[in-house]
Amino acid sequence: MNEEYYLELRENPVQFEHASSVNNVFFDEANKQVFAVRSGGATGVVVKGPDDKSSVAFRMDDKGEVKCIKFSIGNKILAVQRTTKSVDFINFIPDFPHIEFSHECKTKNASVLGFCWTNWNEIVFVTDQGIEFYQVLPDKRSLKLLKSQSINVNWYIYCPETSVLLLSTTVQGNVLQPFAFKSGTMSKMSKFEIELPVVPKPAKLSLSERDIAVATIYSDLYVMYLKHHSRTTNSPGAEVVLYHLPREGACKKTHVLKLNTTGKFALNVVDNLVVVHHQSSLTSIIFDIKLQEPDCPVNVHQAVLPGRSIHPFKIPRTGPAAAPSQAPVICELYSSTWSVFQPDIIISASEGYLWYLKVKLQPTLNLLQDKGKLMDFLLRRRDCKMVILSVCSQMLVGEEKGSLPVVATVFDKLNQVYKEYLDAEQTYTVAMESGPSRSSSSYKRPVRTQAVIDQSDMYTHVLSTFTERKGVCHKFIIAVLMEYIRSLNQYQITVQHYLYELVIKTLVHHNLFYMLHQFLQYHVLSDSKPLACLLLSLESTYPPAHQLSLDMLKRLSTANDEIVEVLLSKQQVLGALRFVRSVGGHDNVSARKFLDAARQTSDSMLFYTIFRFFEQRNLRLRGNPGFNQGEHCEEHVAYFKQMFGEQALMKPAAV
C-alpha cells in the first residue's frame, strides 16, 4: 500500500509560529516568505524564507492592523499596507538609515486592493480603479510614478516567475486583463474572457479569485480555471480549464482536465504535472497535458493515475513542551485551514507549516499498466532515470513479463529521446567547430536530462543482469537483445560493441553458433576489432569463428597488422606474407618475424621460400640479397646455409 502514494510533502518544511489572535501570518509568493507579525509588529516580525538563511526578524511600531506585507526582491525594501489608501515602506538596504516613509495611491478615492514587487525597487499598486507602477527611491524616501492604467478591478493575481499581473474586470469579473512587467516597463497584454458555466441574471461578480491560478507548465504560461460542476450543464463533474497565455498574441483555451467529481478543489503544479486536490475525498489526482498528442484546439484529459491521498505526514513534537517519549502526531491532510499556492506550495497556517509538494514516480509503475503510456509519462519527469530503468528490468522478468511488441515499443520510446539528445549534441558541436564566436550565442549546449537513457545505462542496469539471470528462456533473452539492437539501428544510433559481446556470449553459452554465424553474415553485429578478437577466442569451440574473425578484420581494413599476427600465430606464414603483399606492406615488414615463424613450422621448404622472398626483397631495395645488421637474421642465415648449403644463398651479382 505504501508505494501507492505518489504524492508527498517534501522533507523539512518551513516552520513558523502558527496564526493566532496576536499573531498574523502572511505569505509572499514572490519571495516565498512567510511573515509572522506579532501584535502588529510591535512585538516583532519573523520572516521565514525557503531556507533558514533567508529568515529575518525585526520589530516595527504598531500603526494598526497590517493588511499585506512583502519584501522587495532581495529583501531590500519592506512594504506594508495598513490602510486602503496608502502603503508604508521601510528601508532595509544595509547601512542606510532604517527610516519609514509612506505613499498614497494617486487615484482619488480609490482603495488599494494590494501591491506586488516586480523588482528590488519597482512596485505595482493595484486599486479598485486601476494599477499604478512606481519606482521606489529609498534615499529620497519617495516613489516615482512610472506608469499607470485606470480600469475597474475586482481582484488580481500576480505570477512572480513571469511577473505577469492578472486583473479581473467587468461586473461578472470573468474578463481577465494581463499585464507584463519588465525592468521599469509595463506592457498590456490582450485580455480574454473565461467562459462561465452559467451567466447569472442579473449580472453579478461570479468569477472568484479562488478559482483561478497561474502557473508555467512545460515552460508555457497557463491560466488555470477551476470550473465548478453545475446542474444546468450536464457535465459529470467539475473540470479544470487551461488557458494558454502567450507573451504576445491572444490567449486561448487549450486543455480541459476532467475531474469527474464535485466538491472543493485546490490546484498545484509539480514537475509540469497539474495536481488537483479534492478535499472531500482526501485524494489528489494528476494530469499531464502532453500525455496525449494535441489533435484538436481543445484537448480533454483524464487523470493519468487513479486518485490517491498524499503520503501521510508526521509532525515531530518539538519545543520546550515536547517530551521525547511522545510519538509524533499525524498531521491532518487536506484540512480546511490549508491554503495552496503556486506552483507547489501548501501552507497550514493553523499548524505553522509550509510544505513543498512532490511527485513520487516509483508507485506509478504499478498504477499505470500501459507500459507505452507509462514511458511517455516517465520520460517527461525530472528524476526519472532509475524508475525507467527499473520499468525496463521489470518488464523482462517475472510473471508480468511483457510481450516482445511491448518491449519493442518501450525500447523505441527510450531510443527516440536518446537520439534527439545525440542529434542536439551533434549539431551543437558542429556549430562550435564551424565558428564558436558567431554561433555560440545562438547555440547553447543541450542539457542532458535524466530521460536520456544511453546504451551503457541499459547495459549496466538492465541487460547485463537480465542475461545472467537464471531460468530465463534463452530464446527470449536473444529476442530482447535483438529488439534493442533493432531499435538502435532504427534510430541510426551506432551500437556499442559491448552489446554485441552480450549477444555473442549468450549465443555461445547456449551453443547457438549457427545463429551467430548468420548474424555475422548479415553484419547485424557490425565489425569491430574487439568483436573480431572475441570471435578469435571462440575458435576452440567453433572453428569457423577463426575465419569469420579474419574476414571481419579484413573488412575493417584498419587491422592489417592484426591479420598478419593472427595468421602467423596459426603458422600460416605464407598466407600472412601473401596478405601483406596484397596490401602492399611487404617492403617494410620485419623479415625476422616471418623467418622465426617459418622456422617454427620446421618445414624446410617453407623456410626456403620465405628466406628467398626476403633475399629478393633485399636485392630489390638495396641491390644486395644479404640482410642488414638491424634485421637480426644472422641465425636464420646460418640455419639456411646449414640446410641448403652456402651456394644456395642468393648471389649479389644476380643478373
Partner 1 sequence: MAADVDRQLWESTNGSLSIEPVCSDRADSPAPGLVSGTEPGAGQETAMFAHTESFEDLTADTEGAGLEPQEREASLQEGRGEDEEEPREECAVIGRQQQEGGREGGVRDKDKDEDVTSDAWRAHRKHVFVLSEAGKPIYSRYGSEEALSSTMGVMMALVSFVQSGDNTIRSIQGDGYRVVFLRRSPLVLVGVSRGSQSAGQLLRELQYVYLGIVSLLSATQLQRVFAHRQSYDLRRLLSGSEHLTGSLLRLLERDPGPLLSAVACLPLPGPARDRVSACLRQARAPPLTFSLLLAGTRLVSLVRRRDLHLHHLDLHLLANMAASCSAFREAEGWTPVCLPKLNAAGFFHAHVSFPLPGTPLCLLLLSTEREAFFELSACKQRFLELLHKRNALLGLQEALSCPTYSVALVGVPELRHFVYKSRSSGLYTSPELEGPYSSDEEQERLMCLYQQLHSRLHHPTRPLSSIYHTTHTHNLYAKVTSGFELYLCFSALGTKAIAEAAVSKLLKWIRKEEDRLFILNPLTY
Partner 2 sequence: MLCVFFSPRMASGMQEKQYTPSLLSFFIYNPKFGPREGEEEKKILFYHPSELDKNEKIRSVGLCEAIVQFTRTFCPTKPAKSLHTQKNRQIFYEPEEHFWMVMVVRNPMIEKPNKDGKPPTIEYQEDEILDSVYGAVLQQCYSMYKLFNGTFGRAMEAGGVEMLTQKLEKFFYRYLQTLHLQSCDLLDVFGGISFFPLDKMTYLKIQSFVNRVEQSLSLIKYTAFLYNDQLIWSGLEQDDMRILYKYLTTSLFPRHTEPELAGRDSPLRPEVAGNLLHYGRFLTGPASLKDPDAKIRFPRIFVNTEDSYEELHLIVYKAMSAAVCFMISAAEDLTREFCEQLDSLVGPQLTLLASDICEQYNINRRISGSVLISLTLRQTPRKCLALLALLSSNKHTIGAHIKRNICYFDSQRSQACALFQYSIYTI
Q: Which residues bind partner 1 (CB under 8 A)?
A: 574, 577-578, 581, 604-606, 608-609, 612-613, 615-616, 619, 644, 647-648, 650-651, 654-655
27 binds, among partner 2, partner 1, none (CB under 5 to 8 A by kind): none
- For residues 279 and 609, which CB has a smaller minimum distance to partner 1 in the complex? 609
User: What is the DSSP pairing of strand 299-301 with strand 252-258?
Assistant: parallel
Q: By CB under 8 A, name the one of 102, 339, 390, 489 that touches partner 2.
A: 489
Q: What is the DSSP string of 566-581?
A: HHHHTT-HHHHHHHHH
CA atoms 624, 627, 629, 634: torsion sign: negative
Stretch that binds partner 2, among 159-167, 232-240, 249-257, 549-557 (CB under 8 A): 549-557
Rounded CA-CA distance 79/74 in Å is 13
CB 106 within 8 A of CB 119: no
If contact means CB under 5 to 8 A according to the sort of partner, which of partner 1, partner 2, none does residue 648 touch? partner 1
Give whichever of 213 and 568 is closer to partner 2, judged by the CB atom. 568
CB within 8 Å of 163: residues ≥ 6 apart: 118, 180, 181, 182
Span interacting with partner 2, options 261-269, 317-325, 574-582, 646-654, rule CB under 8 A: 574-582
Contacts 24+ apart (CB under 8 A), 344-350: 344/268, 344/269, 344/270, 344/275, 345/27, 345/29, 345/32, 345/268, 346/9, 346/268, 347/27, 347/34, 348/18, 349/18, 349/19, 349/25, 350/18, 350/19
Residue 312 interacts with which of partner 1, partner 2, none, CB < 5 to 8 Å by class: none
Q: Which of 475, 510, 622, 641 lies at the binding interface for partner 2 (CB under 8 A)?
A: 475
Residue type, 432: M
Q: Does 544 bind partner 2 (CB under 8 A)?
A: yes
Task: Please give the backbone phi and psi of residue 373, each rounded to the nearest 5 degrees, phi first.
Answer: -60, -45
Q: Which does 485 bind (CB under 5 to 8 A by kind): partner 2, partner 1, none?
A: partner 2
Residue 30 contact partner, candidates partner 1, partner 2, none, CB within 5 to 8 A by sort of partner: none
| Residue 525 phi, psi dihedral angles, 5° rounding | -95, 100
Strand partners, 213: 224
Contact residues for 250 (Cβ-Cβ < 8 A; gap 6+): 190, 192
Question: Residue 515 touches which of partner 2, partner 1, none (CB < 5 to 8 A by kind)?
Answer: partner 2
DSSP classification of residue 458: I
Residue 330's contacts (CB-CB under 8 Å, 6 or more residues apart) are 312, 313, 314, 315
Nearer to partner 2, 542 or 644 (CB): 542
Upper half-sphere CA count for residue 430 (Cβ side, 13 Å): 6
* Nearest distance, CB of residue 649 and partner 1, angstroms: 10
* Contact pattern from residue 384 through residue 413 relative to partner 2, giving x for each residue in contact according to CB under 8 A and a dash for the rest: -------------------xxx--x-----
Q: Does 575 bind partner 2 (CB under 8 A)?
A: yes
**Binding segment for partner 2 among 125-133, 191-199, 223-231, 540-548 (CB under 8 A)?**
540-548
Q: Is the Cβ of residue 111 or residue 518 nearer to partner 2 in the bound state?
A: 518
In terms of CB distance, is 191 or 517 closer to partner 2? Answer: 517
Angle, CA of 212, 218 and 221, to the nearest 5° = 40
Question: How far apart are the C-alpha atoms of 585 and 575, rounded to whole Å?
Answer: 14
| Residue 609 interface partner, choices partner 1, partner 2, none, CB cut-off 5-8 Å depending on type | partner 1
582 counts as binding partner 2 under rule CB under 8 A: yes
Q: Which does 493 bind (CB under 5 to 8 A by kind): partner 2, partner 1, none?
A: none
Element (H, E) at 356: strand 353-359
Question: Who's near 302: CB < 8 A, 6+ residues apart?
Answer: 258, 260, 287
**Residue 388 CB, nearest distance to partner 2 (Å)?**
22
- Give the integer Cα–Cα distance in Å for 530 and 418: 25
Q: Which is nearer to partner 1, 42 or 648 (CB)?
A: 648
- Residue at grid coordinates 534493442: 484
Cβ at position 583, least distance to partner 2 in Å: 8
Of residues 490, 601, 604, 609, which one binds partner 2 by CB under 8 A?
490
Nearer to partner 2, 240 or 550 (CB): 550
Binding residue for partner 2, selected from 182, 247, 509, 523, defined by CB under 8 A: 523
Q: Which does 373 bind (CB under 5 to 8 A by kind): partner 1, partner 2, none?
A: none
Angle at the Cα of 477 from the Cα atoms of 471 and 479, rounded to 5 degrees: 145
Asked if 521 is part of the footprint of partner 2 (rule: CB under 8 A), the reply reads yes
Contact with partner 2 (CB under 8 A) among 194, 285, 304, 485: 485
Number of other residues whose CB lies within 10 A of the CB of residue 265? 22
Rounded least distance, CB 482 to partner 2, Å: 5
Q: Rounding to the nearest 10 degrees, give the CA dihedral for residues 245, 246, 249, 253.
A: -40
The answer to whether residue 563 forms part of the interface with partner 2 (CB under 8 A) is yes
Looking at the Cβ atoms of 159 and 520, the one nearer to partner 2 is 520
Q: Pick from partner 1, partner 2, none: which does 491 bind, CB < 5 to 8 A by kind?
A: none
Is residue 510 close enough to count as binding partner 2 by CB under 8 A? no
Query: If we measure between CA atoms, which residue out of 320, 293, 289, 283 comes closest to residue 302?
Result: 289
The nearest distance, CB 647 to partner 1, in angstroms, is: 8
* Binding region for partner 2 (CB under 8 A): 403-405, 408, 475-476, 478-479, 482-483, 485-486, 489-490, 514-515, 517-518, 521-524, 526, 543-544, 547, 550-551, 553-555, 563, 575, 578-579, 582
